[in-house]
Amino acid sequence: MAALTLTFDNGPEPEVTPYVLDVLRERGILSTFFVIGEKLLDPPRLALAERARAEGHRIGNHTFTHSLPLGLMRNEGAAEAEIARTQELISELADPDKLFRPFGNGGIISRALLSKAAVDHLVGGGFSCVLWNAIPRDWEEPEGWVERALDLSARQDWTLIVLHDLPTGAMAHLPRFLDAMAARGVTFRQEIPPDLMPIRRGRIMRPLDDYVSAGLAELSA
């Protein structure tokens, strides 16, 4: 039976995240919210992350500023700080797996995702790096993403989809997507597909050459 893991990036947002949480609660679906660290400096946004965690969702780290893929950062310590500052703000909301999702700049999986310094920080800190296999580009086409998401999900047995709880209007169509998936008999899973977690609790699970900008040889599993 096909499976779907829901994830939401770039929040929390007071205009959108409460609605997303309500939709998920109504359907008994658990997901993971990959939050931007600087947004948690705002108490109402932090409260939304706390609500999500209290309702059973996982909270992951999606960098502090979401400004540049870590593999493109050249200032010493910058990539590590993007991860560490956010994790400090997530604090007790953190998942036991210490989930981290790199910024893909449009959902692109490439060697820009991580730097060697970022990998060293993730490994040393016991983090799990979470990738994806479905990007319906809801931020770009807030009215038309559902059809693309349904098509992407139909092509694979276990889909990990990236949506965005941002004020674009896209999440108004979340119920339609979820109901269409349920009608297909899809199983909603909160777990991360193992093949989309190249680093798990600080352990490199497979070679990282496709994700790291430099210094690859010593990172092979």
* Predicted confidence (pLDDT) per residue in 153-208, tens digit: 999 999 999 999 999 999 999 999 999 999 999 999 999 999 999 999 999 999 99
Rounded to whole angstroms, how far apart are CA atoms 156 and 201? 26
Burial of 205 (0-12, 13-18, 19+ CB in 10 A): middle
Q: Residue type for 184, please?
A: R
pLDDT in tens, 13-60: 999 999 999 999 999 999 999 999 999 999 999 999 999 999 999 999
Using CA atoms, how far residue 132 sits from 8, 15, 19, 25, 163, in Å, is 11, 25, 23, 23, 11
Rounded to whole angstroms, how far apart are CA atoms 219 and 194? 18
pTM of the model: 0.95
Whether 221 has a pLDDT exceeding 60, the answer reads: no
Catalytic residues: 9, 164
